Amino acid sequence: MTKRLAIFDCDGTLVDSQANICIAMEHAFGEAGMAAPPRSAIRRIVGLSLFEIMRTLLPDADNAVHSEMVERYRASYLMMRSNGLEHEPLYDGIAPLLNDLHDNGWLLGVATGKSDRGLERCLDGHGIKDLFISLQTADRHPSKPHPSMIHQALVDSGAAALNAVMIGDTVYDIHMGAAAGCKTIGVGWGYHPLDELRDAGADYLVENMDELKVALEAI
């Protein structure tokens, strides 16, 4: 039997975490005595590893500053979490979709710029962690769009790249999937607009869960 693997991005695809990310980033920059980037700029780089995010937001700074800002961001996020301010709701329809895919024989994975701890906390909190056979994070891989996370998900699942699909809301997800030889689906409810996902080469573009189901049925 052919193994089919659906790999999901997390932030902007499974969960809406932009408020958390923007608030933590603004706090980190404030603690460093710097003006925070506009939220539009922060949202655009969601999905990259933290170090790559800081390199993008602070292109004139050196690696020491980038590393310092990574730690400031992590501290800010942990402070929010400890104060009960973390809020990462699932997008409407995601949980039923995942359960339907799982029940119909799909293998499921996640490839995300989150940390191991952050991803597990998110999935556990929504009661969906056990649906996934492979959880790949920035803790153990190069930043997107490098295909390393997908390569490991293929190993974990035993699926072939031609039977796998990367589902995400950013051009980083689309480029990563293409680099790994997978089909790609760009979703319209996240942080990059559909026209950019189209220009990035997404095989399918969807605006809601019903359209996502149809796209997956075509793979």
Mind listing the pLDDT tens digit for each residue in 26-79?
999 999 999 999 999 999 999 899 999 999 999 999 999 999 999 999 999 989
Decide if 15 contacts 192 (C-beta within 8 A): no
- The set of residues, in sequence order, having a beta carbon less than 8 Å from that of 162 and lying 6+ positions away, is 181, 182
Within this chain, do residues 107 and 145 fall inside the same structural domain, yes or no? yes
Q: Which two tokens stand for residue 125?
A: 């909190």
- Specify whether 159 is located in the same domain as 177: yes
pLDDT at 209 over 80: yes
- Please compute, for residue 219, the number of CA atoms within 13 A of its CA located in the half-sphere on the CB side: 27
**What is the rounded CA–CA span in Å between residue 19 and residue 44?**
13
**What is the Cα–Cα distance from 44 to 146, expressed in whole angstroms?**
17
Residues 64 and 150 in one domain: no
137 and 198 in a common domain: yes
Q: Would you state the pLDDT for residue 83?
A: 84
Number of domains in the chain: 2
Give the pTM.
Answer: 0.92
If you search the block for the tokens 């607009």, which residue do you land on? 193
Select from 99, 101, 219 the least CA-distant residue to 164.
Answer: 219
Rounded to a whole number of angstroms, the distance between the first and last alpha carbons of the chain is 15
The enclosing domain of 179 has a CATH number of 3.40.50.1000
Strand partners, 134: 109
Q: In terms of domains, do 55 and 147 share one? A: no
Is it the case that residue 80 has pLDDT exceeding 90?
no
Q: Are residues 75 and 111 in the same domain?
A: no
Domain that holds residue 72: 18-82
Asked whether residue 100 falls in the same domain as residue 146, the answer is: yes
CA 129, 133, 134: angle at the middle one, nearest 5? 90
pLDDT at 137: 97
Q: Render pLDDT for 122-136 as a digit per residue (tens, 0 to 9).
A: 999 999 999 999 999
Domain of 69, CATH number, reads 1.10.150
In terms of domains, do 50 and 151 share one?
A: no
Same domain? For 115 and 154 the reply is yes
* Co-location of 112 and 94 in the same domain: yes
- Of 82, 103, 134, at which residue does a domain stop? 82
Contacts of 25 (CB under 8 A, 6+ apart): 36, 37, 42, 57, 73, 76
117 and 36, same structural domain?
no
Are 12 and 120 part of one and the same domain? yes
In order of 35, 106, 121, 159, 178, the CA distances from 133 in angstroms are 41, 10, 16, 11, 21
User: What local confidence, expressed as pLDDT, does residue 119 receive?
Assistant: 95
Q: What does R_g of the chain's alpha carbons equal in angstroms?
A: 17
